Chains A and B, each alone.
Chain A
């Protein structure tokens, strides 16, 4: 037993050393491209639709395409790893708030190299993909968040969807009875919590550059007061958006903040009747500013010029007018071109309320670029301090802003 263990150990260490030296000779940097690699974080069934688009696009430019689907949470870690081992894919999909950070590392190439200008795309979409004046990523379809409401519960209570903060507060309180809360949102200590707070903050004139302002404090006060008066569960500090959805589908929340990517999940509950409305501003006249969501397609700096130019063509195809409609439809997204979004919205009422939101939607990284993650952390930190009652909204924002 012991002898064989030692033999195995020697063999293993030799094999390991061989494997380690072998690693460095993995990358190929020359030769005509026959096959391109694409990496995204889509899961089935969406991944299947994207694969079809990749294949068709590949065929149109004369290459075969091999795609890998990575779990969403692991994508950035994988990209960093590939970045250091020089094994980045030819086309890389990124969540739009990550584009500037990855672009700032030098791992992406400007799309203008491949003649992609983003003409006709919504300004928020372009701002999300732009780093230091160059367009690095283009999202064919985008989304945002809105107010979802249970039409049966609201009808029974004689309530129409709220249009102002005051209405949201009174409605939420009126809709709270027994085990049912009036309102649900995600206030978790991750970027998801930040993302859901942004419409309230931005619509009221708050800004991520400095969150220690009366406008942002007012927005945080609204959510805090709903938690304190009991019309929202105290558990929101631990709820991700999927948890919020579970509350809604279980009938434990009459209204919620969520996004169109939940449409397929909601479709599994035929007895649940729901509709969407824009997230209310403080006044009915406030122009809603919602955060822009969605994934961009990028061409990493792989060093292989021939492949990169083909990859540029592939990205152009993935983001063309025809494909963006297909891509939008599978995930409840809205096409990124304003003209095309209007066409789709005309035929799909559920998309319609999002189409108007996306026109004015703001990119999270639009203002701070690679500095966004730090600001996002401050926002959810302040939110948690206020929602748990540890500090007043104003004091919480002040403390978070000052680090």
Chain B
């Protein structure tokens, strides 16, 4: 707020210049209030319109029998918790919940371990460091639909490049049924999602590492803290606030992953990669049972929200420190 009021007198937008001639005293506190609210207004309108409205609408929808018919007639009978009961009672619910959990935990562990290893690696000074680091961002820059199509191709059981290479190396005789076997498909999808999440992890962790003063390492090395010890006692404690941010944001991003799964397996085979997100999508946009779809997405939102609260707490503690 303080920054807004200091900007106000010099602002050049028409609404504000009109007041320039008035002395601050005559304008009084009421006028200042109005100006303050004017500056908040865009943000409030924006949040209400693009966050508030959809969330309220989605919550309402989950308590209604919202179908294709509703679009024409505008009628959506109130059904209370019936949608939630159907969704939670369906045999698919436990599968999607477990898949969502495995997918999130697997992706986060993979992304973080590879991410921190690469971030530490890039701290070392070597030729082409900058070039390689920017190349690492490529997965982030590619459209997800394109990269999932290419991955689907590479993971093909019969003629995909991954199985061809494994066969040349005699690691497998018949090829791994990456996307065809319900027991393997989730692992394959997690692998692709790890690849996708590495740039985010490396970028944030690398910038966190840059913030650790070099003097700490110099002082530490005098006391014999080198290699693993310097990581354990200098890097890790100093990086912890960044780590918690990366992990919590990672969880929230991973929970809602939809496109990569739809592109690779569409939730199959035999629902082995169906998560809460893909299930909500299928219910709403394939089966057109929007009420049930909204119920699943609300469950997902609540889980996400839980992690967002953790993030806020962690973040506040980091700032306090």
Contacts and interface: CB of A to CB of B under 8 A. Distances in A.
A136 B11 CA distance: 61
23 contacts: A3-B11, A9-B42, A10-B15, A12-B42, A76-B288, A80-B71, A81-B71, A102-B68, A105-B67, A105-B71, A105-B73, A106-B69, A106-B72, A233-B158, A234-B181, A235-B180, A238-B266, A301-B72, A381-B270, A388-B180, A388-B181, A388-B269, A403-B91
Contacts of A101: 68, 288
B167 interface: no
A19 to B, nearest CB: 11
Interface in A371-394: 373-374, 377, 381, 384-385, 387-388, 390
Nearest to A384: B270
Contacts of B287: 373-374, 377
Interface string B154-178: 0011110000000000000000010
A13 B46 contact: yes
B265 interface: yes
A261 B181 CA distance: 30
Contacts of A390: 182, 270
A106 B72 CA distance: 7
Q: Is the interface of A mostly helix, strand, loop or mixed?
A: helix
Contacts of A6: 11, 13, 39, 42
A13 B45 contact: yes
Given A84-B74, A403-B91, A237 B268 contact: yes
B285 A77 contact: yes
B12 interface: yes
A2 interface: yes
B42 A238 contact: no
A144 B96 CA distance: 35
Contacts of B7: 2-3
B49 interface: yes
B13 A384 contact: no
Nearest to B49: A16
B266 A188 contact: yes
A227 to B, nearest CB: 9
Nearest to B268: A189
B269 A387 contact: yes
Contacts of A387: 269
Nearest to A84: B71
B159 A179 contact: yes
B172 to A, nearest CB: 14
B90 A403 contact: yes
B177 A234 contact: yes
Interface string A56-89: 0000000000000000000011001101100000
Interface in B15-47: 15, 38-39, 41-43, 45-46
Interface residues of B, number: 46
Contacts of B41: 10, 13
A238 B90 contact: no
Could you say which interface size class chain A belongs to? 35 or more
Interface string B64-103: 0001111111100000000000000011000000000000
Given A17-B45, A84-B70, 7 more contacts: A2-B7, A10-B13, A16-B49, A84-B74, A101-B68, A190-B266, A238-B152
Contact of A104 (B69, B158, B270, B272): B69
Interface in B272-305: 272, 285-288
Interface string A25-54: 000000000000000000000000000000
A128 to B, nearest CB: 17
B200 to A, nearest CB: 26
A7 interface: yes
A234 B12 CA distance: 67
A107 interface: yes
B199 interface: no
Contacts of B91: 399, 403
Nearest to A382: B270
A107 B72 contact: yes
Contact of A237 (B11, B45, B159, B269): B269
B186 interface: no
A259 to B, nearest CB: 21
A10 B38 CA distance: 9
Nearest to A236: B180
B157 A106 contact: no
A292 to B, nearest CB: 21
B197 interface: no
A381 B182 CA distance: 13
A9 to B, nearest CB: 4
B179 interface: yes
B180 A105 contact: no
A234 B72 contact: no
A17 B156 CA distance: 49
A235 B158 contact: yes
A115 B196 CA distance: 58
3 nearest CB pairs, A to B? A9-B42, A189-B268, A7-B13
A81 B67 CA distance: 12
Contacts of A373: 286-288
Nearest to A383: B270
Contacts of B177: 234
A17 B45 CA distance: 10
A388 B272 CA distance: 10
Nearest to A3: B11
Nearest to A234: B180
Contacts of B265: 238
Contacts of B180: 234-235, 237-238, 388
A104 B49 CA distance: 32
B267 interface: yes
Contact of B72 (A84, A179, A377): A84
B158 A179 contact: yes
Contacts of B238: none
B268 A384 contact: yes
A331 to B, nearest CB: 25
Residue from A3, A17, A238 having most chain B Cβ neighbours under 10 A: A238
B267 A189 contact: yes
